[in-house]
Amino acid sequence: MRSEQPVIYWTLILVVVLAPLPYASIHPWSWSFLACAIGALVAAWSVRVLVGVQKPAFGLRATWPFIALLAVFAGWAALQTVTWTPAAWHHPLWESAARALDLDLGGRVSLSPDETFAALTRLLTYAGIFWLALQYGRRTARAEQIFLAIIIAGAAYGLWGLLQLWFGWESRLGLPGPDDGWFAWGTVADSHPYATYVSMALICASALVLARGAATPRRSLGDLIRRLADGSGASWPLLGVWLLLLAMISIFRSPGDMTGAGVALVALFAVASVGKLARPLRLAVFAVGSVLTIAVVATIQEIVAPIAPLATSDAHELDQLQSLSLDAIAGAPLLGTGYGTFEDIFRFYRTSDFPATVLHARSGYLETILELGLPAAIAAFLLVAGLLLLTLSGAVRRQRDSAYAAAGFAATVLIGYHAAYDYSLQVPAVIATYSLLIGTACAQARSSRREDDDW
């Protein structure tokens, strides 16, 4: 029998839930703390497994395809930093710098090895969160605890962002603020990570709302109302938080953020319809309730304090940024410029329309291809596609507890949508939370009666 260590489990939840506090963990000191904490937890779990105190819920036998793709992804990123690769692979700027300085600099594929090491550290941190969530999320009770933690955190940080807006507060105590790419109604670009985080909490809440009481044979609307009233269905606190998160979605400044949340909810509704997550009546109530809540709050917001629409110049700037990113990709389509080096390489392609420093391509797909090269980027995309298919399979096939896999599927759709036009994937607090969510969803995609892996 597996003997789990609750301290590791609860510390994992605490660390990820608190990740948004130090400025969404975007600064080196804040994401370094996250990396050290997760590294220590993975090491502690590994020691327990090695000495035989704890058995892994999922071993190499079940996870080797994902580990292989991650190894290609991370392995190539590491290889980009070494000097002993063929000289023909090295970025030409190393040779130019060596001639100008009359020094033997030792060329590399990566334009900035330090930035590549930093990005690789963050990647392995997210992988560690996923691995621990996969191991501890096998039990349904713990999967529910993880989802509830994400829901509570999303509602709390969401409310804090709105309070900052309404009362004109600035960021205090390291809480997310307008200067860290998180604020709810800052510039249009800055609202995307906030919207992605809140949308993930909404997905978790929606999945649990659909799941509560899903197995009941009662089918009438009156029975459903009575179950909600006496607490035998979805609890009123959960319904209240779900409606609150829906209301937050309704007042996002960017239409793209609202569309992303809508696409994710449609994906959740679709897999719930095909699978066994909820009966048709409950799905209908969920769909009508979601649409009405969003429509009512959006209408009130438009009357009381209209939100400025997305400016045409912003859309034009996004198109231009992505066009220049494609030009940069053409310079090193196979080898890449180094994982995490977009800021450094874009300086050579930017026009006068952009500021001196551009941090992100506002397209996770283009940025990944530019930095890693097409072969390694394909491995990264296949890894995410594998998670999508695994959670879809679990959501459709599982008889019970399919809510978690369905939420993982919808959250991956959400992340994939945002990756097309913003930089949410570059905010550690967002991806750490997604890693916790998808790791739990993948653990629940397989039956809890399945025996633990021997290896």
- In this prediction, the residues of the chain whose per-residue pLDDT falls under 50 are 1, 172-175, 177-181, 183-189, 213-219, 221, 224-233, 310-313
What CA dihedral angle connects 268, 271, 274 and 279, to 10 degrees?
Answer: -40
- For residues 428 and 410, what is the distance between their CA atoms, to the nearest angstrom? 20
Q: Is 360 exposed, middle or buried (0-12, 13-18, 19+ CB in 10 A)?
A: buried
Which pLDDT belongs to residue 453? 59
Q: In sequence order, what DSSP letters do the residues of 363-386 get, joined into one string?
A: -HHHHHHHHH-HHHHHHHHHHHHH
Which pLDDT belongs to residue 118? 95
Cβ neighbours of residue 450 under 8 Å, at least 6 residues apart? none
Q: pLDDT tens, 80-139? A: 999 999 989 998 888 888 778 877 778 899 999 999 999 999 999 999 999 999 999 988
Which pLDDT belongs to residue 160? 79
Which pLDDT belongs to residue 289? 74
3-class secondary-structure state, position 286:
helix
**How big is the CA angle at 161 (ends 158 and 167), to the nearest 5 degrees?**
135
What is the dihedral sign for C-alpha 423, 424, 429, 433? negative
- For residues 129 and 35, what is the distance between their CA atoms, to the nearest angstrom? 10
Domain ranges within the chain, ordered by starting residue = 6-311+362-444
- For residues 157 and 18, what is the distance between their CA atoms, to the nearest angstrom? 10
Which pLDDT belongs to residue 316? 72
Buried b or exposed e, range 417-429, using 16+ CB within 10 angstroms: bbbebbbbbbbbb
Contact (Cβ atoms closer than 8 angstroms) between residue 339 and residue 119: yes
- For residues 380 and 126, what is the distance between their CA atoms, to the nearest angstrom? 13
Which pLDDT belongs to residue 279? 66
CA distances from 134 to 149, 167, 169, 341, 427 (A): 16, 40, 38, 30, 22
Q: In sequence order, what DSSP letters do the residues of 62-95 get, joined into one string?
A: HHHHHHHHHHHHHHHHHHTT-S-S-GGGS-HHHH
DSSP 25: G
Which pLDDT belongs to residue 119? 96
- For residues 251 and 191, what is the distance between their CA atoms, to the nearest angstrom? 11
**How big is the CA angle at 310 (ends 308 and 314), to the nearest 5 degrees?**
135
Contact (Cβ atoms closer than 8 angstroms) between residue 186 and residue 161: no
In the chain, count H helices and then E strands.
Answer: 17, 0
Contact (Cβ atoms closer than 8 angstroms) between residue 408 and residue 445: yes
Which pLDDT belongs to residue 286? 74
Amino acid 121 reads: T
CA distances from 50 to 45, 56, 271, 455 (A): 9, 10, 39, 11
Which pLDDT belongs to residue 239? 82
- For residues 439 and 441, what is the distance between their CA atoms, to the nearest angstrom? 5
Cβ neighbours of residue 431 under 8 Å, at least 6 residues apart? 122, 126, 425
Cβ neighbours of residue 341 under 8 Å, at least 6 residues apart? 110, 111, 112, 115, 116, 371
**How big is the CA angle at 256 (ends 250 and 262), to the nearest 5 degrees?**
55
Cα–Cα nearest to 183, from 164, 196, 198: 164
